[in-house]
Amino acid sequence: MRPNDDRSISDVLQDIFGNVQDIVRSEVRLAQAEIKTEAGKTIRAAKSLIAGAVLALYAGGLLLIALVYALAMVLQPWLAALIVGAFVAVIAAALISVGQGRLRAVKKPEKTIQTMKEDVQWLKNQTR
């Protein structure tokens, strides 16, 4: 490096912009590395969750079959299956109804949409 007395303002500004670019590039590389690491962890966790959910579905089905067989010891098998099926259908309908109600309560992010529209308008005005 040259002594400070010999440097022009343009040289100083070039050094500053060069350093800022290096810092930004380093931050981007760091962010990419962190995202890759976290994405790998997320994928591993998702695999475990999906496997657990599939096994839980099978377990639920087997428990329902066991309930049908237990009721079949007291009632006709067709009636036992009908009772268990109706019971599961009522629970499913209630859960669907609750889910639909919660889904209707979800609102669009109005402030974000408005801000984005304003940003697009500003950018259009700047490029004219």
- 54 and 117 share one domain: no
- 17 and 57 share one domain: yes
- 80 and 68 share one domain: no
- 68 and 109 share one domain: no
The per-residue pLDDT for 104 is 87
The per-residue pLDDT for 91 is 96
The per-residue pLDDT for 124 is 78
Residue for token pair 């962890």: 41
The per-residue pLDDT for 3 is 53
- 90 and 112 share one domain: yes
Looking at residue 5, the DSSP 8-state letter turns out to be: G
In the chain, the number of structural domains is: 2
pTM: predicted TM-score of the whole model, two decimal places: 0.55
- 54 and 21 share one domain: yes
- Domain stops at, among 74, 95, 116: 74
- 62 and 1 share one domain: yes
- 18 and 31 share one domain: yes
- 82 and 107 share one domain: yes
- 3 and 27 share one domain: yes
The per-residue pLDDT for 53 is 95
> Alpha-carbon distance 39 to 43, whole Å?
6
Residue for token pair 């019971």: 87
Domain membership of residue 49 as a residue range: 1-74
Tell me the C-alpha to C-alpha distance, in Å, between residue 114 and each of 21, 60, 93, 106. 32, 46, 37, 17
What is the block-wise mean pLDDT of the chain (128 residues), using blocks of 10 residues? 68 86 88 86 91 96 97 96 96 94 84 83 76
> Alpha-carbon distance 22 to 126, whole Å?
28
For 32-60, b where at least 16 C-beta lie within 10 A, e where not — what string? eeeeeeeeeeeeeeeeeeeeeeeeeeeee
